[in-house]
Structure 1
């Protein structure tokens, strides 16, 4: 009797399938295991994780490592995702400072335009002059209101107020006339004095209209057409705010630095093509498809996209100990996205959503790194280790153990870093493709578009449904249904958008409404998973026409996602394709397809 272990090294997880054989056939499956992949897929850093996964499977079977006869590995191709900014690294703002932090309770309402002065300077202002009063910390709201009313009585045209403390409503309620009051400006000392400025506060439940409009700002400050172009980032950053302040500063106060996105050159079997990143994801992907299969991708020197691609090559060269010149990018997936960029000139940490193109790049490495992993395992464990086959081909073998399946059959293996597709015909011919972009890219898009700067939190948003805590005793789920609780919920989740994770509630530390978070999550999944499903199946279809595929089985970790499988199934239904999650060996669900295929290939060689 021979005991064989199939080991699938993925971007996110490492999976093991353990089985016993006699000289002619499989006797039975013994156990399976799954652990988080150690290091980047396809590097020697994977070895500790492989050993842990093997030990876990052997423990379930009551076996020891010394009883294992052979370990079979997949050919793991590393995939790295990164962002190539479409616009700039720093938002351009010329001759402007802005405050757009949107306090929860501004006071008053309307638009005020005037010269910025300290409260203490009001005594020296002549009647009829338009001013915006700046009130530092330490001044009582009643004292501030009395001073403002006295100035108005003397004929000074107080147009609005900027306050450091949380006193906007208290001050506004005590003034003789209604003017806009913005508070909670923490960097009040940095507000330029003696400068033309504008303050705007909208009615409750509404948003500002003048300072979020480039032409509105141009009207207020009498800007030229060229100057109006330069204030677009200010207006964009203030869209959706209930209050805002814009101050015109002396020329040269704010410096701007730009780095262009640049263009990429795609080298393919059908020729090469240049495409500007500014053209967007759709044009980039059309170029990739036109010249595919891709042999390499390079970026314009000195640009954002060049830096991103060279960083990917450098990382993989260091990890695999292969020459940098041999690092070839065999596929890219481009997705349009938005990235919050810090606004230069802001006084309250303002951000503007800038257009960006997210790129997931797959580096083609030689068989050498996988052989290094095999050699290291042999050295550590003293066992025979074989590099058994291409991931997608092994996944086909595993998928065929799903009850109700037969040849011809296509699979979509949606993992953390890549999407693999393969099809097996009735006469055992196998066609496969390995494309960049999967679960990790979705997480990256969620992280960037929501401005979270927290990869683990973004991963949870991707994997679990959302809810809004509307009281201490009930929540509203993202599908609109309400759930009530007998005992009160933790105070820290009250009125927050939360992730429903394994019976727990994880609050999301942003002000984004539930609908926005859900929309970002679903759109990220569609742009990555649905796009890659369609392009990968089109590549493996024998005729090149996706409509000639009848059955598709979804496997891999991302197929477990609570909505991805439905999205892909819905998209493929338009082509008359029967699609659903796999159930490997009738017990594993969509997991373990590659590991199971590696075991099954023991007698028959590579698929």
Structure 2
């Protein structure tokens, strides 16, 4: 009886399956050491093979490994270059703690400046300089009101909008008060437009280019600038826009990338534009990062048998490379009950999606689990380790204590109280309990909003990569006869994502049925689930 070890060195995980006479004796996995195909990764694979053999009580006679092609994922931040807006300028938008409510368009009046104390027939926007305390600002505004000045809004340089608003006389009502505003820039404007709405409610004047143009008395040639400004303020609940005496100079073009990509051995490159994902998911502006994510699959190494030679030296047994990774994945997946003879197999890994048809046609494309992790990390501004858990499925919002709100609006109680510091944040189950998270710059997402963003990210990364792989195979559904079934079986680590079947089903033609592999279930021994497809296929080859 020959005992064979199938070894699959992935970009993130190394998996080993030991088989004898077609019966699975044992399986195990560990994180890949170093870069896929490196000497460290092969030393790690040898250690996993020895451990699995020891746990199975078997002596391995030979091993099999496919040629290895690494994938690199990276992020390239998009410089946020504002478009030209003529004489209009956004001075502040989306502060966390504004005061008051309403909208006002008026001339700026710098508090404490004797030169600005002249009479104004219309409303004024009081600009509080940074050195002025909130109580001094409120006292100064009361003096202006007593002198007959029509105060329509207040801008505060420090973070004290609520403190100032709470000390204003009731006679002027709840005028809009916005803080963290550049007082010098505000005071230099000809007119200021200030608007504060309830949290979550859109602006009605500043986000309407017609209303904004009328409020500022803009000429026809400035209408396009008003439209640009209003478009940038969608989804904000407070903002300040200034009208300057002259148009600002055009912003300089972004500096060239100091480290352009020089992947001369790149076999496939997949890029995801996060800004396009946010627009498709109708995510609130300013709540997510902006970047291009790049996954690069390197070409087949010149010496395809180098990994087998190195592993043979490490294990001291013969090692062969009988199959490619996609072919091995199909052979391993064929041990799934209910798999149709003509099924397409998609092995979704950390770096690539490997697809193989029944007739042996195969395609390997960059962009898979690690790219999705990177997208979530960049979107929320969280570490990749946290993003790896956040991406996996539904979240809850922690309402304090043990109460939570689910993505479908349902409410319930946790088994144990959540940390007080996590109140109001979203959270997902992690290896040591709940993993709380928020959006960039502290902006909170609702559970349903994050669900829409998360599913859209999976659509943009995993579904788009799978479509590329199926198109390369010639299997996007266009060649199927009307009514003929086409089965797609998913294997690999990301196939554990319970949302993935639904995401891919929505993105594929109706003729496709999508399911997960259950490897080894038609063989003796314990079934392996959706993992170990390549390792099992190599061991059975």
Aligned pair partner of 1:246 in 241, 245, 248: 241
- The 1:47–1:523 alpha-carbon spacing in structure 2 relative to 1, beyond 3 Å, is same
Superposed CA offset, 1:70-107 (max 9, x none): 3322233333445678x865233555553445344422
TM-score by structure 1 length? 0.74
Shift of 1:125: 0.9
Aligned pair partner of 2:25 in 21, 30, 38: 30
- The 1:456–1:338 alpha-carbon spacing in structure 2 relative to 1, beyond 3 Å, is farther
Q: 3-state DSSP class of the match of 1:211?
A: coil
Q: 3-state DSSP class of the match of 1:388?
A: coil
- The 1:458–1:489 alpha-carbon spacing in structure 2 relative to 1, beyond 3 Å, is closer
Whole-angstrom CA distance in 2 between matches of 1:514 and 1:579: 27
Q: Which moved more, 1:555-564 or 1:224-233?
A: 224-233
1:599 and 2:539 aligned: yes
For 1:195, the equivalent position in structure 2 comes to: 189
Shift of 1:453: 5.3
1:149 and 2:142 aligned: yes
Aligned pair partner of 2:162 in 160, 163, 168: 168
For 1:475, the equivalent position in structure 2 comes to: 404
Shift of 1:118: 3.4
Residue segments in structure 2 that go unaligned for 5+ positions in a row: 280-284, 522-526
Shift of 1:137: 5.2
TM-score by structure 2 length? 0.82
Q: Conserved in 2, the CA contact under 8 Å of 1:338 and 1:356?
A: no
Q: Conserved in 1, the CA contact under 8 Å of 2:110 and 2:116?
A: no
Q: 3-state DSSP class of the match of 1:566?
A: helix
Q: Conserved in 1, the CA contact under 8 Å of 2:109 and 2:117?
A: no
For 1:518, the equivalent position in structure 2 comes to: 451
For 1:298, the equivalent position in structure 2 comes to: none
1:509 and 2:438 aligned: yes
Whole-angstrom CA distance in 1 between matches of 2:12 and 2:416: 37
For 1:584, the equivalent position in structure 2 comes to: 519
- The 1:372–1:82 alpha-carbon spacing in structure 2 relative to 1, beyond 3 Å, is same
Whole-angstrom CA distance in 2 between matches of 1:522 and 1:219: 40
Relative to its length, the structure with more strand (as a share) is 1
Whole-angstrom CA distance in 2 between matches of 1:524 and 1:338: 10
Superposed CA offset, 1:541-561 (max 9, x none): 689624555433211111110
Q: Which moved more, 1:329-338 or 1:393-402?
A: 329-338
For 2:524, the equivalent position in structure 1 comes to: none
Shift of 1:233: 5.7
Whole-angstrom CA distance in 2 between matches of 1:3 and 1:225: 82
Aligned pair partner of 2:337 in 390, 403, 408: 403
For 1:387, the equivalent position in structure 2 comes to: 321
Shift of 1:485: 3.9
- The 1:493–1:360 alpha-carbon spacing in structure 2 relative to 1, beyond 3 Å, is same
Q: Conserved in 1, the CA contact under 8 Å of 2:348 and 2:490?
A: yes
Superposed CA offset, 1:8-60 (max 9, x none): 1222222111223xxxx44x322211222233434445234323432432342
Q: Conserved in 2, the CA contact under 8 Å of 1:493 and 1:507?
A: yes
Q: Conserved in 2, the CA contact under 8 Å of 1:422 and 1:433?
A: yes
Q: Which moved more, 1:10-19 or 1:195-204?
A: 195-204
1:102 and 2:94 aligned: yes
Q: Conserved in 1, the CA contact under 8 Å of 2:67 and 2:307?
A: no
Q: Conserved in 1, the CA contact under 8 Å of 2:519 and 2:532?
A: yes
For 2:177, the equivalent position in structure 1 comes to: 182
- The 1:585–1:204 alpha-carbon spacing in structure 2 relative to 1, beyond 3 Å, is closer
Aligned pair partner of 1:545 in 473, 479, 489: 479
Q: Conserved in 1, the CA contact under 8 Å of 2:267 and 2:299?
A: yes
What RMSD over aligned residues (CA atoms) do the two structures have, in Å? 3.7
> May I ask how many residue pairs the two structures share in their alignment?
519
For 1:128, the equivalent position in structure 2 comes to: 120
Alignment of 1:7-156 (within 5 A): 7-20=7-20, 25-26=21-22, 28-62=23-57, 67-81=59-73, 89-93=80-84, 97-121=89-113, 124-128=116-120, 130-136=123-129, 139-156=132-149
For 1:433, the equivalent position in structure 2 comes to: 363
- The 1:10–1:142 alpha-carbon spacing in structure 2 relative to 1, beyond 3 Å, is same
Shift of 1:593: 0.5
Q: Conserved in 1, the CA contact under 8 Å of 2:127 and 2:183?
A: no
Shift of 1:352: 8.8
Question: Looking at both structures, which has the greater relative contact order when contacts are Cα pairs under 8 Å and sequence separation is at least 6?
Answer: 2
1:564 and 2:494 aligned: no
Q: Which moved more, 1:390-399 or 1:154-163?
A: 154-163
Whole-angstrom CA distance in 2 between matches of 1:194 and 1:252: 13
Shift of 1:353: 7.5
Whole-angstrom CA distance in 2 between matches of 1:557 and 1:406: 22
Q: 3-state DSSP class of the match of 1:200?
A: strand
Q: Which moved more, 1:454-463 or 1:390-399?
A: 454-463
Alignment of 1:194-593 (within 5 A): 194-196=188-190, 197-203=192-198, 206-223=201-218, 229=224, 234-248=229-243, 256-259=251-254, 311=261, 313-314=262-263, 324=264, 327-330=265-268, 332=270, 337-338=275-276, 351=286, 360-368=295-303, 370-405=304-339, 407-424=341-358, 429-448=359-378, 450-452=379-381, 454-485=383-414, 487-502=416-431, 504-510=433-439, 511-540=444-473, 545-546=479-480, 550-569=486-505, 574-575=510-511, 577-586=512-521, 587-593=527-533
Residue segments in structure 1 that go unaligned for 5+ positions in a row: 261-301, 315-323, 342-349, 602-607
Shift of 1:248: 4.4
Shift of 1:407: 2.6
Whole-angstrom CA distance in 1 between matches of 2:457 and 2:237: 28
- The 1:224–1:353 alpha-carbon spacing in structure 2 relative to 1, beyond 3 Å, is farther
Q: Conserved in 2, the CA contact under 8 Å of 1:126 and 1:156?
A: no
Q: 3-state DSSP class of the match of 1:120?
A: coil
